[in-house]
Amino acid sequence: MKRLPPYFFKSIIVWMIFFLPGCSRYSCWFLDVFNQGRRERVDDCLTNRFVRSIRVYDQVDTLGLFSALWLHDEVREAYVEAYAVLHCLDDRRAQQMLHQEFAETRHTIAFYLLASTRHNFLLTDKNSEWHVQLLINGECINPVNIKTIHLSPEYIRLFGPWFNRFKQQYLLKFNAVAADGTRLIGPSTRKIELIFNRLGQSERMTWCLDSSGSSRAPTSFNRNILAYDIDNNF
C-alpha cells in the first residue's frame, strides 16, 4: 500500500483548526501568541508618482537595473511625517526638520538611486561604465555630488516594491539654480529626465510635471519581457 506523504497529515490538521466550526478561538490564539504588530498603510500614490525604474539589456544580457526616487517636497514631507512617528518627535521638532528638508530642495535637485550593474561597478568610480545626467528644458546637467549611502527605513518604504537589498544605494545631487540665478525647474518645465549613458547606449527615466511642478503618475509602465531578472545574478 502506498504511503501518504507527511505533509498530507499536516495539511489536514491545519484545515481542521482553521475551518471547522469553533475555529475562531484558534485564530485569536494565533494572533495573541504570534503578534503581527500594527500595520501602517503605505502611500502607494507617492511611490507611483515619484519612483521610476528602467532595465537595460544587450540582447538578453542584463547591463543594468536602475530605480530612482525624486526627493520632491512631497516626498520629503512624507519622510518627515514617518520619521516623526517612528522617533516620537513633537510638532515643533517635526516642523524644524521639515523646514530643513525644504531648504535642501531650494538648492539641489536630489534623487535616491538603487542600481545593479554588470560586474558590480560603482557609479562613483572614475572609470565607471555608466554616467548619469539630468535633463531639464533641453539642458543636460552633471551631478555635483554622487555618493553611496544606506537608505533609512522611511525611504525604503517609499521605494515600495522597487527596493531590494542586492542593489547599491546612491544619493545624486544636482544644482537647482542656474548660473544666472534662475531656478532650473520653473513654471514652463513640463518634465525632467535622468539619463543613464554608457558607450553606445543611452536610457532615461522621465517625470512629467503638472502645473504646480509636482510629478504625475505615468500612464503606462515598462513591462519588459525579461522582468524576472534576479538582481544578485551579476
> For the chain, which residues make up each domain, given as ranges?
7-37, 44-233
Q: What is the pLDDT of residue 143?
A: 95
Cβ–Cβ under 8 Å, residues 116 and 63: no
Q: Please, which residues bridge with residue 141 across strands?
A: 134
Residues 6+ apart with CB under 8 A from 229: 55, 62, 65
Each residue's pLDDT tens digit, 68-103: 999 999 999 999 999 999 999 999 999 999 999 999
| pLDDT tens sequence for the chain (234 residues) | 556 565 555 566 555 555 555 545 545 555 555 555 554 454 678 889 999 999 988 777 788 899 999 999 999 999 999 999 999 999 999 999 999 999 999 999 999 999 998 877 889 988 888 999 999 998 999 999 999 999 999 999 999 989 988 899 999 999 999 988 899 998 889 999 999 998 888 899 999 998 777 887 776 544 444 444 434 333
Rounded distance, CA 142 to CA 212, Å? 25
Q: Are 217 and 48 in contact (CB under 8 A)?
A: yes
* The predicted structure's pLDDT at residue 13: 57
CB atoms within 10 A of CB 156: 17
Tell me the DSSP string of 47-63: HHHHEEEEEEEETTEEE
